[in-house]
A and B are shown apart, each in its own frame.
Chain A
Amino acid sequence: MTTLSVDRASRWFGNVVAVNDVTMTIGPGVTGLLGPNGAGKSTLINMMGGFLAPSTGAVTLDGEPVWQNEGVYRHIGVVPEREAMYDFLTGGEFVLANAELHGLPDPGAAAARALATVEMEYAQDRRISTYSKGMRQRVKMASALVHDPSVLLLDEPFNGMDPRQRLQLMEMLRRMGEDGRTVLFSSHILEEVEQLAHHIEVVVAGRHAASGDFRKIRRMMTDRPHHYLVRSSDDRRLASALIADGSTAGVELDPAERALRVRAVDFARFTELLPRVAKENGIRLLTVSPSDESLESVFSYLVSA
């Protein structure tokens, strides 16, 4: 039980399409689900976890539908994004309850093992309501691992974690991936995904934008056209010098901003070209600012690519 398949799945809420005709297969190893906030990552993970029915299409685990099939939870562990988790229990009681709910033969031993995996034994007798965000995250992990699942789904697991906890969790997930488990986690931070996942699925505005290993995705992201706003002591002369080089695809004089809008197609070459050209022509650069560095624009480029 290790392969999750999303087959032409869409999900809408009223008039809002959250996930639009997505097809992807998640196999063993660590996969990162990358996308800006509101891209539909949670909706997708909720469908994979059987908490949301696809409006059309199918989500299956090794061919078995996930929706309304509680048997799949023998194989799936879920780490939800939301914080709430029976705060009136202690961490130890909570993990034990999860082990019992799975009907494990020795819930006590399973709970102890899961708590040890996330290094939370020291706080297992404290109420969850007294836990920090990172501690909660680890107890959630323990509750998801208690039945030794072959598939682990994590929704924004690194949110609110400090760097040390982040590294710990990454290490743990990496180990689980190496064990041959299917680990899928969502994140809106490229660096996070890049450090951990051997495979990345990108979703933007509900669409499946890209799929592949992180080097490929990284290249697509740096190779995209970059837009800059440039002010200098002589915009018009700078413009003609820049357009002469192959690394720029367009230069526009913006009279309202009293600046140049430059579209660079070769990022590395352009960053070297601009200061050199300015120096050669005796032009002083006053402002150089990227005008589309938001994650949103990076992603929307990926969609159109």
Chain B
Amino acid sequence: MQIYNTTVARLTYRGLLGRRRALLLFGLPGLLLVVAGAVRLLAGRDEATAVGMLGGFALATVVPLVGVIVGTGATGPEIDDGSIVYLLAKPLSRPGIVLTKLAVAAGTTIAFAAVPTYLAGLLLAGNGGRIAVAFGAAAAVASVAYAALFLFLGIVTRHAVVVGLVYALVWEGVVGSFIPGAKALSVQQWALALAQETAAAGTVTSEVGLPLASALLAVLTATATWFAVQRLRSLTLAGEA
């Protein structure tokens, strides 16, 4: 079984970066860096501010939003307009298609969310408290999980973007801050566990311990991918009539 197909990858990349939604992909990290630059100019280098911004804006908003755009964009449009038929009408292993698209989506999310998070960390805190590295790594891990989750959503529902946004903003943002238990069930908190472990002691705190967080991240990524493969296998093209 071929698990990575360069042609599928190329088509996915071009589909992601060649459509209008690519503008958002440049806009979000751009905004993060601009804000980080402005904070640095106005407030100077400060670790507490850095942690606040990277946790509250980069990891809580930019990473999930980029994840939604990229993850749903890696398959959703092809399914919507029916062009997925050109991938499906080939002797390609279905897990291979999904794993390739996942690799592309994860890589793109890392490039447009995790790398900018690291750079914003450098701008805000320099190398102080290993904050930039900690949040960069956390964002990278979250990128993979979001890519898998939203890739799956993109295959399952035509409203993947809406569902993804609701998850990213409502669940991670609002529910998490009001219902203590819900916090533990959030990609953001799991990624923070890694940041907590990496950064200097006491700078970052997460609701979840690292072992549990790692396990949940792995389970989420694997489960979403497995279901994505199953859904793609039995994807039906009803046609117009």
Docked complex Cα distance between A124 and B85 (Å): 21
Confirm or deny: A82 has a beta carbon within 8 angstroms of a beta carbon on chain B: yes
Q: List 9 A-B contacts (CB under 8 A).
A: A39-B241, A42-B240, A46-B236, A51-B85, A51-B88, A84-B82, A85-B86, A86-B11, A101-B90
Cα A44 to Cα B188 with chains together (Å): 46
Q: Which residue of B lies closest to A99 (CB)?
A: B7
Per-residue CB contact flags for chain A residues 143-184 toward chain B (1 = under 8 Å, else 0) read 100000000000100000000000000000000000000000
Q: Are B85 and A78 in contact (CB under 8 A)?
A: yes
Q: Which residues of B contact A43 (CB under 8 A)?
A: 238-239, 241
| Cα–Cα, bound, A203→B30 (Å) | 57
Q: Could you tell me the distance between the alpha carbons of A38 and B241 in the complex, rounded to whole angstroms?
A: 5
Q: Which of A66-74, A189-197, A216-224, A234-242 contacts B (4 or more CB under 8 A)?
A: A66-74
A82 contacts across to B, CB distance below 8 A: 81-83, 85, 239-240
Asked whether B89 is an interface residue with its Cβ less than 8 Å from the other chain, the reply is: yes
Contact pattern, A 123-154, Cβ under 8 Å of B = 1, otherwise 0: 00000000000000000000100000000000
Residues of B within 8 A of A143 (CB): 86
- How far, in whole Å, are A32 and B164 apart by their CA atoms in the complex? 44
Q: Which residues of B contact A204 (CB under 8 A)?
A: none
Check if B15 is an interface residue, CB within 8 A of chain A.
Answer: yes
Flag whether A266 is at the interface (Cβ < 8 A).
no
| Contact between A68 and B234, CB atoms less than 8 A apart | yes
Using Cβ atoms and an 8 Å threshold, which residues of chain B touch A42? 239-241
Our pick among B7, B91, B239 for the contact of A73 (Cβ within 8 Å) is: B91
Chain B: residues with CB nearer than 8 A to chain A? 5-8, 10-11, 14-15, 18-19, 81-83, 85-94, 233-241
Q: Is there contact, CB below 8 Å, between B238 and A102? A: no
Mask, A46-80, CB within 8 Å of B = 1, is: 10011111000000000000001011011011101
Closest-by-CB residue of A relative to B8 is: A101
Q: Which residues of B contact A103 (CB under 8 A)?
A: 91
Q: In the complex the two chains form, is B90's CB within 8 Å of A73's CB?
A: yes
Contacts of B86 in A (CB 8 A): 85-86, 97-98, 101, 143
B190 to chain A, nearest CB (A): 34
Instruction: With CB as the reference atom, state the residue of chain B lying closest to A47.
Output: B236
- In this assembly, does A213 line the interface, its C-beta being within 8 Å of a C-beta of chain B? no
Q: A41-B241, A46-B236, A85-B86 are in contact. List 6 more A-B contacts (CB 8 A).
A: A37-B241, A73-B89, A77-B89, A80-B239, A88-B19, A102-B91
Across the interface, name the chain B residue whose C-beta is closest to A41. B241
Q: How far is the CA of A97 from the CA of B83 in the complex (A)?
A: 13
User: Contacts of B82 on A, CB cut-off 8 Å?
Assistant: 80, 82, 84
**CB of A89 closer than 8 Å to a CB of B:** yes
Smallest Cβ-Cβ distance to B90: which chain A residue:
A101
A205 smallest CB distance to B (angstroms): 12
- Interchain CA distance A100-B2 in the complex, whole Å: 13
Task: Give, as a whole number of angstroms, the nearest-CB distance from A233 to chain B.
Answer: 46
- Within 8 Å by CB of B81, from A40, A49, A52, A84, lies A84
Known contacts A76-B89, A101-B5, A101-B90; A13 and B240 CB within 8 A of each other: no
Q: Is A7's CB within 8 Å of the partner chain B?
A: no
Min CB distance A185 to B, Å, is 15
Per a CB cutoff under 8 Å, which of B10, B89, B234 touches A53? B234
Name which of A45, A51, A89 has the most chain B CB atoms within 10 A of its CB. A51
In Å, the complex CA distance between A52 and B236 comes to: 5
A45 to B237, CA, bound (A): 11
State the Cβ distance, B13 to closest chain A Cβ, in Å: 11
9 nearest CB pairs, A to B: A84-B81, A42-B239, A82-B82, A51-B237, A88-B18, A100-B7, A101-B90, A84-B83, A78-B89
A81 contacts chain B at the CB level, 8 A cutoff: yes
Q: How far is the CA of A82 from the CA of B240 in the complex (A)?
A: 8
Nearest CB of chain A from residue B9's CB, rounded to whole Å: 11
Residues in A neighbouring B18, C-beta threshold 8 A: 88
Complex Cα distance, B85 from A102, in Å, reads 13
Residues of B within 8 Å of A52, CB to CB, are: 236-238
Measured in the bound complex, the distance between the Cα atoms of B93 and A77 in whole Å is: 17
Per-position 1/0 for A8-49, Cβ under 8 A of B: 000001000000000000000000000001111111011001
With A41-B241, A82-B240: A70-B93 Cβ-Cβ less than 8 Å: yes
Among B15, B89, B93, B239, contact of A155 (Cβ-Cβ < 8 Å): B239
Given A43-B238, A101-B87, is A86 in contact with B15 using a C-beta cutoff of 8 Å? yes
